Every structure is written in structure tokens, then in C-alpha cells.
């Protein structure tokens, strides 16, 4: 099959909600249409990813990133210097961003990069949509740097594997957070193919380790995307004043999946929590979710949403909760 035909076929698969393993200069990624909630949910199901940790969104050009996130002058300097390349920037997501909630794990920031691999860029342009693409391996396995690695690990669970040869870098991208607080600070969230020295040379600012305990990147806190009302898990019916989110045969004000489909439930989870928040109910209740397959990730996310809220400091601000582990492949 010619490269051009392979890219056309891959783009068609992605536009209809499929999964395609794609080569980048870092590692092979498991790509899905980042605007399609069910397609993004399939990434978690296929990887066996243990929680709804955020996914990096891949774009073909800086102007495409600007449609998704707010680009500060400092971010623009980094983009000019290092894109396309192995640098992911965690930026404030625009209110009108087209991304599915699962890409950013329901938080207001999103990780974005422009890959340097010509086949990945051609596919992004042909698909016409941003692509969510963590590493194309089972969660916890070694990251793949060839198409054969992907085939050996994921097999027929991926709809197509684009073979672009061995990855030139073979190391995941550097992740830099740019806090949305009006300061010119850079937070090193994951070391990778771009070094702190290279970044400091361009920006005159050396990335610092994030030790604040606050939300500086998606997926860092035990209690994140906490609804305004207290969330009650494993509910059979709503209590007084509660908004009920059902699943399967257990109904409610809305149902994540009347047929008990965990992919459908995952795709609609964050939107359901927002709808419950907007209802004005004093509390939220959610039906039991099976604790297997993608249900493990759903329950992980719900436990975070139901976690005790941070105590207030003597200045009336929420004290920072304990950070939680975050997989960012």
C-alpha cells in the first residue's frame, strides 16, 4: 500500500471514530479523533488505562493549537522555537474548544503538541481534526518505537497501524506547564526530548519543578473536577434534593448508558457531571458502575470527584490537597 493511500485510509478510520497507531518522532501513538467522546473513550479501553488521566492533543500547525487553547507570548516563543518537535505545552483551554472532555480529564487545561514526523503531520492535515494520542501500548508496558512493537502489544484491538519506521527520538515529549496566573513561569511536568537548558536558552527562564500542590497540569490532584454538590457513589435511587445519574437498569435524571455500555458511559461522564452541577440540586448521586474494564477508569474518576474537599486556610482559600500520581504517556 502506498504511503498516500495509507494516510487516506487512516484518516477515514479516524473520522468515523476508529483507532489508528501512528508514528511520531518520540514514540508510536494510539490516535483517535480528539473531538469524538466515544473514540477517546476507546483509547482508555484499549490501553487498559487505570484512570482518566489526560491525553496529549496533537495538531498539525500552531494556528490549530490557538483554536483549542490560549497562547501566551511565552507559549508562542516556545512554539516558534520547538514546534514541530518533542515539546508538549499544558495551556488554558478555550471555552469554545472542540475537544471531548475526556482529553483533558474534565479540567480547564490541555496538553498540546505538534509532532515532527512527516507521516503524523500528513495524517493530521488529512483528518482535519486534532488527534488525542497517548503511547500505543497497554498501560504499564514499554512504550513502542516501531510498528512491530504496536502489533505485538495491541494486536487487532487497533483498527490500523501506520508504519513510519523506527522513531527517531524514542523518548516521550517534554511536558511544560504554563500557569494561568499572569506570571511568566514554566513548570517541568515531565522531562523528555527537549532539555531545560534548551528551554532556558530560548526563554531566559529555566523550568522549575512544580511543588505547589495546586492544579498545574491535568490529573495531579486526588480531588479534581469536584462537582459543587457532594457526590454519593453506588446509589440505587436519589435522596432528597439529589440529582441522580443512572447506569444500565438503574434510571435517574439522566443515564450514562441505559444498555450498560462502559464506553458510552465513559464518553458522557464529564458532561453528565456538569449537567448535574447546572441543575441546581443540592447533591449528586450516581448508580454503581461495574468495576472491570473501562469501569475501573470511570470509578477512579468518580472517587476523585467524590473525595473530601480541601480544608479552608485562615485566609479563606482552599488549602492544597495531596498530589496524586498521574500517568502522562
Q: Give the residue ranges of the annotated binding site for ATP.
A: 49, 53, 135, 143, 190, 225
Binding residues: 26, 49, 53, 58, 113, 133, 135, 143, 173, 190, 225
Cα 293 to Cα 159: distance, rounded to the nearest angstrom: 19
Of 304, 318, 323, 322, the C-alpha closest to 189 is: 323
Grid cell 488527534 in the structure block, residue: 131
Q: Is residue 235 within 8 Å of 287, Cβ to Cβ?
A: yes
Measure CA 238 to chain center.
31
**SS3 assignment, position 6:** helix
Of 110, 114, 119, the C-alpha closest to 86 is: 114
Helices (H) and strands (E) in the chain, counts: 9, 14
Cα 127 to Cα 229: distance, rounded to the nearest angstrom: 39
Q: Is residue 109 within 8 Å of 90, Cβ to Cβ?
A: yes
Cα 245 to Cα 66: distance, rounded to the nearest angstrom: 34
Binding residues for L-threonine: 26, 58, 113, 133, 173
**SS3 assignment, position 201:** helix
* DSSP alpha helix (H) spans, the chain: 3-15, 37-47, 62-66, 73-82, 118-127, 147-154, 196-203, 262-278, 294-306
What phi, psi does 177 have (nearest 5°)? Answer: -95, 140
Cβ contacts of residue 16 below 8 Å, gap of 6+?
Answer: none
Amino acid at each position: 500500500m502506498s504511503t498516500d493511500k495509507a494516510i487516506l485510509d487512516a484518516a477515514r478510520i479516524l473520522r468515523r471514530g476508529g483507532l489508528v497507531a501512528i508514528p511520531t518522532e518520540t514514540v508510536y501513538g494510539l490516535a483517535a479523533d480528539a473531538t469524538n467522546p466515544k473514540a477517546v473513550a476507546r483509547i482508555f479501553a484499549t490501553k487498559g488505562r487505570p484512570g482518566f488521566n489526560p491525553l496529549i492533543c496533537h495538531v498539525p500547525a500552531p494556528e490549530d493549537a490557538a483554536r483549542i487553547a490560549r497562547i501566551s507570548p511565552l507559549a508562542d516563543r516556545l512554539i516558534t522555537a520547538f514546534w514541530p518537535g518533542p515539546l508538549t505545552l499544558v495551556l488554558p483551554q478555550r471555552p469554545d474548544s472542540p475537544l471531548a472532555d475526556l482529553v483533558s480529564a474534565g479540567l480547564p487545561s490541555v496538553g498540546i503538541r505538534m509532532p515532527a514526523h512527516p507521516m503524523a503531520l500528513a495524517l493530521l492535515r488529512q483528518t482535519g481534526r486534532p488527534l488525542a494520542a497517548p503511547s500505543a501500548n497497554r498501560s504499564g508496558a514499554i512504550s513502542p518505537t516501531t510498528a512491530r512493537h504496536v502489533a505485538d502489544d495491541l494486536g487487532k484491538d487497533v483498527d490500523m497501524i501506520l508504519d513510519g519506521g523506527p522513531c527517531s527520538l524514542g523518548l516521550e515529549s517534554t511536558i511544560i506547564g504554563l500557569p494561568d496566573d499572569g506570571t511568566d513561569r514554566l513548570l517541568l511536568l515531565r522531562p523528555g526530548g527537549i532539555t531545560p537548558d534548551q528551554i532556558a536558552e530560548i526563554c531566559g527562564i529555566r523550568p522549575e519543578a512544580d511543588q505547589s500542590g495546586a492544579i498545574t497540569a491535568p490529573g495531579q490532584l486526588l480531588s479534581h473536577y469536584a462537582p459543587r454538590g457532594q457526590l454519593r457513589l453506588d446509589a440505587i435511587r436519589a435522596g432528597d434534593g439529589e440529582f441522580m445519574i443512572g447506569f444500565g437498569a438503574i434510571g435517574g435524571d439522566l443515564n450514562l448508558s441505559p444498555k450498560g455500555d462502559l464506553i458510552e458511559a465513559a464518553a458522557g461522564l464529564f458532561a453528565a457531571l456538569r449537567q448535574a452541577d447546572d441543575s441546581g440540586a443540592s447533591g449528586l448521586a450516581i448508580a454503581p458502575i461495574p468495576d472491570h474494564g473501562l469501569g475501573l477508569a470511570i470509578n477512579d474518576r468518580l472517587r476523585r470527584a467524590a473525595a473530601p474537599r480541601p480544608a479552608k486556610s485562615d485566609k479563606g482559600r482552599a488549602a492544597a490537597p495531596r498530589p496524586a500520581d498521574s500517568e502522562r504517556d
